[in-house]
Amino acid sequence: MPVGGLLPLFSSPAGGGLGGGLGGGGGRKGSGPAAFRLAEKFVLLLVFSAFVTLCFGAIFFLPDSSKLLSGVLFHSSPDLQPPADHKSGPGARAEDAADGRARRREEGAPGDPAAAVEDSLARIRENHERALREAKETLQKLPEEIQRDILLEKEKVAQDQQRDKAVFRRLPPVDFVPPIGTVGREPADASIREKRAKIKEMMKHAWNNYKRYAWGLNELKPLSKEGHSSSLFGNIKGATIVDALDTLFVMEMKDEFEEAKSWVEENLDFNVNAEVSVFEVNIRFVGGLLSAYYLSGEEIFRKKAVELGVKLLPAFHTPSGIPWALLNLKSGIGRNWPWASGGSSILAEFGTLHLEFIHLSHLSGNPVFAEKVMNIRTVLNNLEKPQGLYPNYLNPSSGQWGQYHVSVGGLGDSFYEYLLKAWLMSDRTDLEAKKMYFDAVKAIETHLIRKSSRGLTYIAEWKGGLLEHKMGHLTCFAGGMFALGADDAPTGLTQHYLQLGAEIAHTCHESYNRTFVKLGPEAFRFDGGVEAIATRQNEKYYILRPEVVETYMYMWRLTHDPKYRKWAWEAVEALENHCRVNGGYSGLRDVYLRHDSYDDVQQSFFLAEMLKYLYLIFSDDDLLPLEHWIFNTEAHLLPVLSKNKKEDEVKEK
């Protein structure tokens, strides 16, 4: 009997040897005595696995063995779990202690080589723990119950898969609505025109080098002049191409857009047998393809976006419907990050699917995508929130919160962003999203936002009621978010939220200004006598992240205060002086050092986000007007779904 056959249906593959849980009902077919023999086998497996796991623990993880045992032998409750020292993360905005090193390495941040070995061993250990836990749970059930569960689940999975595939087979024709404001006027002011042209030149430098040294691969290593691949995308290729499509379009780089489109037509392939991050693939690939479709009307982008959306649907096959973080695109088997609180899904990951999935339903004519994300909302609304706050971890099996950690940076951030943008993208009809957003922001203000002794407003992190006075680079997006939501704030609070946005922008600008290179660190602190400065070596890096410039863009559009253009230009100069190299743009390992400390990765979001936001800051407001366009969290463009159009559609029916 394959070990995979022992796993409950909702379980994930625990590495190669434990895979195949979904199909593994064979061993449970018998009942009565045969099933008791099965139970004996379970016990043997339990003892054997415990032995192997403890050997690993003894050899490699002695200091951690208590954690290991507690995971195996006791049911953990959030209150009993030791606090994970989580760090604000890369791409996914979702990262925690055990996995942090691995993911920073993927995005090009410094990491020590021993970490690779440690990480893979941690993964093995986690797999053992999970298998043991699941085997133990299964043993507690009667054999008939197990058999019935398996059959029911098999049926449900088969039905779901059939339904998912049908979506793609029946892609209906849609009328392409010509987009609004995709070509703006040339700015009247010559110096602004010049700055805008400079940013376009930066895009050419980044793109041409990617094309020359890493074409078709995910990202570029600008110093090594070769491709860079991140496991976040499994075997899917071309992240930079898909991420850059809409920036190329908006900057009117027509030849480049056409070559990117041809690559998508001929090479973009989602039929890969590999595990991907559902969040990353959604925001970069689904978002990038949707955006390219809405700008250009080219069918290939709609087709590819829906095809990929269908591939992601099995991630939602969990008891609660809260999706897994990781999904094997071929087998449809999902699991969560091994480090995430007791097998939890991450708020910023499952909470950052809404905009794209609503558009997938819109463009495919099939409600399945919207249903999935609306169910996430239902689950969230049915849960008690500690002090009105949303913890970063939610267990997809139990549907309950994991550890009580709250963050507007890594692990939490874009969940809040998507609540606001769901409201705006619905043409202000999604009142539930609006309420959830403003309720959440109120709780964040009460419990997380603080002022330093020298007057800098910052957003701290909340761990079970205690504040960590640290703000991540990722958190800096929130300035723009507060300002963007200000117009619809509860009575009398519009000015307040604009002001809050301005204060966060100021603090984040300070975090840049207090470094040598004038680009900010991954995280900065407000304790131990410092303000807006990174004090830990592993928080001093900068990986071409866009959040600070993103906030400048919203603040510029919403206030036209010239300081935002000034600050944006400072960022351009810093990028040119410290990140530009012959082969493209590189992140830095330490922003406080006087000498170069390149990390040798040109992140795809540098082209998708950073250069697009900069270009918009030095364009007139008629280019991509905010009342018509919503930027997903990777700065991909999604049109507001006009309420008049919906009314017209209803009338037609």
The beta strand positions in 508-648, using DSSP E, are 523-525, 580-581, 584-585, 629-631, 637-639
| Amino acid at site 510 | E
Q: How far is the CB of 417 from ligand DMJ (least distance, A)?
A: 8
State yes or no: residue 545 binds ligand DMJ (CB under 6 A): yes
Q: Restricting to residues 629-648, which ones interact with ligand DMJ according to CB under 6 A?
A: 633-634
State yes or no: residue 91 binds ligand DMJ (CB under 6 A): yes
State yes or no: residue 8 binds ligand DMJ (CB under 6 A): no
- For Cα atoms 589, 593, 594, give the angle at the middle one, nearest 5 degrees: 130
Residue 130 token pair = 């999970």
Q: How far is the CB of 549 from ligand DMJ (least distance, A)?
A: 11
Q: How far is the CB of 288 from ligand DMJ (least distance, A)?
A: 11
| Amino acid at site 364 | S
Q: Restricting to residues 590-619, which ones interact with ligand DMJ according to CB under 6 A?
A: 605, 609
Q: How far apart are the C-alpha atoms of 138 and 142, rounded to whole Å?
A: 9
Q: Restricting to residues 546-565, which ones interact with ligand DMJ according to CB under 6 A?
A: 546
Task: Give the per-residue contact string, 9-38, with ligand DMJ (x = CB under 6 A; - = no).
Answer: ------------------------------
Q: Restricting to residues 443-502, which ones interact with ligand DMJ according to CB under 6 A?
A: 474
Judged by CB under 6 A, the residue of 28, 86, 93, 205 near ligand DMJ is 93
- Residues shown for the chain: 653
Q: How far is the CB of 9 from ligand DMJ (least distance, A)?
A: 32
| Amino acid at site 383 | L
Residue 167 token pair = 């979506």
Q: Which residue has the tokens 């009117």?
A: 252
Q: How far apart are the C-alpha atoms of 648 and 646, rounded to whole Å?
A: 5
Nearest to 324 by CA among 356, 289, 383, 281: 281
Nearest to 340 by CA among 383, 394, 385: 394
| Amino acid at site 221 | K
Is residue 118 annotated as part of the catalytic site, yes or no?
no
Nearer to ligand DMJ, 91 or 485 (CB): 91
208 three-class SS: helix
- Residue of 307, 349, 503, 522 marked active site: 522
Q: How far is the CB of 91 from ligand DMJ (least distance, A)?
A: 4
Nearer to ligand DMJ, 53 or 604 (CB): 604
Nearer to ligand DMJ, 6 or 519 (CB): 519
Q: How far apart are the C-alpha atoms of 473 and 533, rounded to whole Å?
A: 11
3-state helix, strand and coil shares in percent for the chain, rounded to the nearest 5:
55, 10, 35
Q: How far apart are the C-alpha atoms of 461 and 475, rounded to whole Å?
A: 10
Q: How far is the CB of 609 from ligand DMJ (least distance, A)?
A: 6
Secondary structure string (H, E, C) spanning 137-156: HHHCCCHHHHHHHHHHHHHH
Nearer to ligand DMJ, 240 or 633 (CB): 633
Q: How far is the CB of 131 from ligand DMJ (least distance, A)?
A: 32
| Amino acid at site 467 | L
End-to-end Cα separation, the chain, in angstroms? 55
Give the Cβ contact number of residue 22 at 10 Å.
24
Q: How far is the CB of 382 from ligand DMJ (least distance, A)?
A: 26
Q: How far apart are the C-alpha atoms of 161 and 553, rounded to whole Å?
A: 42
Q: How far apart are the C-alpha atoms of 42 and 17, rounded to whole Å?
A: 16
Task: Give the per-residue contact string, 212-241, with ligand DMJ (x = CB under 6 A; - = no).
Answer: ------------------------------
555 three-class SS: helix
Nearer to ligand DMJ, 128 or 545 (CB): 545
Count of residues in contact with ligand DMJ, rule CB under 6 A: 10
State yes or no: residue 511 binds ligand DMJ (CB under 6 A): no
Residue 436 token pair = 């959830």
Task: Give the per-residue contact string, 366-405, with ligand DMJ (x = CB under 6 A; - = no).
Answer: ----------------------------------------
Distances in Å between the Cα of 206 and the Cα atoms of 179, 199, 224, 578, 604 are 27, 11, 14, 14, 10
Q: How far apart are the C-alpha atoms of 454 and 647, rounded to whole Å?
A: 52
Q: Restricting to residues 398-417, which ones interact with ligand DMJ according to CB under 6 A?
A: 414
Q: Checking DSSP bridges between strand 457-459 and strand 466-468, what pairing results, if any?
A: unpaired
Nearest to 638 by CA among 445, 375, 355: 355
| Amino acid at site 621 | D
State yes or no: residue 522 binds ligand DMJ (CB under 6 A): no
Q: How far apart are the C-alpha atoms of 54 and 60, rounded to whole Å?
A: 10
Nearer to ligand DMJ, 8 or 546 (CB): 546
Nearer to ligand DMJ, 10 or 567 (CB): 567
**R_g of the chain computed on alpha carbons:** 24
Residue 516 token pair = 């040598």
Nearer to ligand DMJ, 253 or 549 (CB): 549
Nearer to ligand DMJ, 107 or 307 (CB): 107
Q: How far is the CB of 534 from ligand DMJ (least distance, A)?
A: 16
Concatenate the DSSP letters of all residues of 346-388 into one string: EHHHHTS-HHHHHHHHHHHT-THHHHHHHHHHHHHHHS--GGG
Give the Cβ contact number of residue 65 at 10 Å.
16
Q: How far is the CB of 402 from ligand DMJ (least distance, A)?
A: 21
Q: How far is the CB of 308 from ligand DMJ (least distance, A)?
A: 17
Q: How far is the CB of 576 from ligand DMJ (least distance, A)?
A: 20
Nearer to ligand DMJ, 256 or 634 (CB): 634
Nearer to ligand DMJ, 600 or 609 (CB): 609
| Amino acid at site 498 | L
Nearer to ligand DMJ, 108 or 342 (CB): 108
Residue 182 token pair = 């995709």
Q: How far apart are the C-alpha atoms of 35 and 38, rounded to whole Å?
A: 5
Q: Which sequence positions are flagged as catalytic?
A: 522
Residues at the contact surface with ligand DMJ, assessed by CB under 6 A: 91, 93, 414, 474, 545-546, 605, 609, 633-634
